[in-house]
A and B are shown apart, each in its own frame.
Chain A
């Protein structure tokens, strides 16, 4: 089945620790995205990548980092510099950056 997978589904982190969220897609899409979802707010873009080895900051990139070494994979690292990391994180992909975005199942990160 083609789709987007995110792991883990739930993640707990202690303050001061970096943590990496995985996102993989087998849709042969060029573009990939990371969003953050908080209660009562719309999805906010963290980073996006239109092609391998290239990525751009979204609206709320501070405290996050990404890499795009393979077309299929776009991992997100939440660093200790992110002041309020507890949230639901969503990865998405699209054929090109101008096409419809399809979302993965999400990772819920909780900082203890």
Chain B
């Protein structure tokens, strides 16, 4: 059974304090790993797709990396507007078109 585990569940950082969020996964045949940001009461907003181990992608203060067992979302010098829940999801190959989501990391940046 495909599994996605995100840690920590919640993280509080001071503004400017860099850190990383973790997404570990167990799947058979990774098609892609997806990161989303979700604000309270809103739909998830797409951030990144990673397809193979060693791949990295960046957007503003966020950088996503992928290994064969986990992905990290690094946040550098965060600002209060980066506060949100960050969701990780994996898709698998060979006819299984659904995504398996983790439960998310709730990130709070304190001014």
Shortest Cβ distance from A8 into chain B, in angstroms?
14
Q: Residues of B with Cβ closer than 8 Å to A?
A: 4, 31-32, 34, 36, 41-46, 49, 87, 89, 91, 97-104
Residues of B contacting A: mostly? strand
In the bound complex, what is the Cα–Cα distance between A40 and B46 (angstroms)?
Answer: 20
Q: Residues of A with Cβ closer than 8 Å to B?
A: 4, 6, 31, 40-45, 48, 50, 58-59, 90, 97-98, 100-106, 108
Residues of A contacting B: mostly? loop
Shortest Cβ distance from B46 into chain A, in angstroms?
6
In the bound complex, what is the Cα–Cα distance between A72 and B4 (angstroms)?
Answer: 31
Chain B neighbourhood of A105, CB < 8 A: 42-43
Q: Name the one of A42, A44, A90, A103 contacting B102, with C-beta atoms under 8 angstroms.
A: A42
CB–CB A103/B43 < 8 A: yes
CB–CB A100/B103 < 8 A: no
Given contacts A100-B34, A100-B49, A103-B36, A45 and B42 within 8 Å (CB-CB): no
